[in-house]
């Protein structure tokens, strides 16, 4: 069983039928069933009923300031205790950064951490989460692998091309995490916990399309690490 933890608002989660796009794509890729849950219920005790072999945490479109921090306690506890392989994408990657860089139970409010302000002459694609004037990484971008890992098996060379859609980033590599990939505008493009199979990626490996299929290879490798594919 694969469990997709949705970081959408509760209204968006219920309206989209529970991360249906991820469910279809992962079931087609792996042949394994996929269940979805909202992040407010993704506690270790709740997920135990699924006996998951892999956990995927989605991205989202709202600002971090809109989150009620206690609503993140469940997934925070999951991240700090699970031995099941976890992959967080985009906002899910940033969530992993917050959970391991901060004590959420002593944090009243989370704030957006934009990459940078726009330079003179650069186009403004905002507002993103209500904010103008920030650099936005959009479209297929080039990312550099800085440390080899089984997640990159089958990818030749040091660069990959993957979709991006974000203006925030993880500013500080959390303790016990290793930097796996970087780019000129976003230093922490991908990271991994040094002792447990927890991966975070700022890019969207879970969205691939010819001719840009490096993301598919990364997701296949993640599910191989989880023992779901040969």
pLDDT confidence of residue 201: 98
Q: What is the pLDDT of residues 199-224, one digit of tens each?
A: 999 999 999 999 999 999 999 999 99
pLDDT confidence of residue 39: 96
pLDDT confidence of residue 133: 94
pLDDT confidence of residue 26: 97
Every domain of the chain and the residues it spans: 2-225
Mean of the per-residue pLDDT values of the chain = 95
Q: What is the pLDDT of residues 161-192, one digit of tens each?
A: 999 999 999 999 999 999 999 999 999 999 99
Task: Name the pTM for this structure.
Answer: 0.96
Beta strands in 109-219 (DSSP E): 137-145, 159-166, 177-182, 190-193, 198-201
Residues noted as catalytic: 90, 204, 206
Please name the residue ranges forming H helices in the chain. Answer: 10-15, 20-30, 44-48, 73-81, 91-101, 214-225
Give the Cα separation of 213 and 160 in Å (integer): 9
Q: How confident is the model at residue 18 (pLDDT cuts 50, 70, 90)?
A: low
Residue 135 near residue 116 (C-beta atoms within 8 A): yes
Average pLDDT over residues 114-136: 90
Q: Where does 2-225 sit in CATH, by number?
A: 3.40.50.880
Q: How confident is the model at residue 17 (pLDDT cuts 50, 70, 90)?
A: low
- pLDDT of 130 higher than 90: no
Q: How confident is the model at residue 16 (pLDDT cuts 50, 70, 90)?
A: low
Give the Cα separation of 9 and 60 in Å (integer): 8
pLDDT confidence of residue 213: 97
Q: What is the pLDDT of residues 131-158, one digit of tens each?
A: 899 999 999 999 999 999 999 999 999 9
Torsion angle in degrees (nearest 10) through CA of 151, 153, 154, 159 = 60
Give the Cα separation of 105 and 69 in Å (integer): 8
Q: What is the pLDDT of residues 50-91, one digit of tens each?
A: 999 999 999 998 999 999 999 999 999 999 999 999 999 999
- pLDDT of 20 higher than 80: yes
Average pLDDT over residues 89-107: 97
Residue 31 near residue 24 (C-beta atoms within 8 A): no
């Amino acid at each position: 069983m694969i469990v997709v933890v949705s970081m959408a608002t509760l209204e968006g989660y219920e309206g989209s039928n529970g991360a249906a796009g991820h469910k279809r794509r992962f079931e087609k890729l792996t042949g394994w069933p996929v269940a979805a849950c909202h992040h407010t219920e993704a506690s270790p005790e709740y997920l135990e009923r699924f006996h998951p072999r892999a956990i995927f945490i989605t991205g989202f479109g709202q600002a971090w300031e809109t989150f009620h921090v206690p609503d993140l306690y469940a997934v925070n506890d999951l991240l700090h205790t699970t031995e099941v392989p976890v992959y967080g994408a985009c906002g899910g990657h940033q969530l992993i950064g917050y959970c391991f860089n901060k004590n959420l139970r002593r944090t009243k409010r989370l704030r957006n951490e934009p990459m940078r302000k726009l330079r003179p002459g650069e186009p403004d694609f905002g507002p993103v989460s209500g904010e103008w004037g920030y650099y936005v990484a959009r479209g297929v971008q080039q990312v550099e692998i800085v440390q080899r890992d089984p997640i990159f098996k089958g990818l030749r060379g040091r660069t990959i091309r993957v979709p991006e859609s974000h203006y925030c980033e993880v500013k500080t590599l959390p303790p016990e995490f290793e930097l796996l990939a970087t780019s000129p505008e976003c230093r922490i493009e991908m990271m991994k916990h040094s002792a447990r199979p927890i991966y975070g990626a700022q890019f969207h490996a879970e969205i691939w399309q010819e001719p840009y299929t490096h993301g598919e290879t990364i997701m296949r490798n993640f599910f191989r690490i989880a023992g779901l594919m040969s």
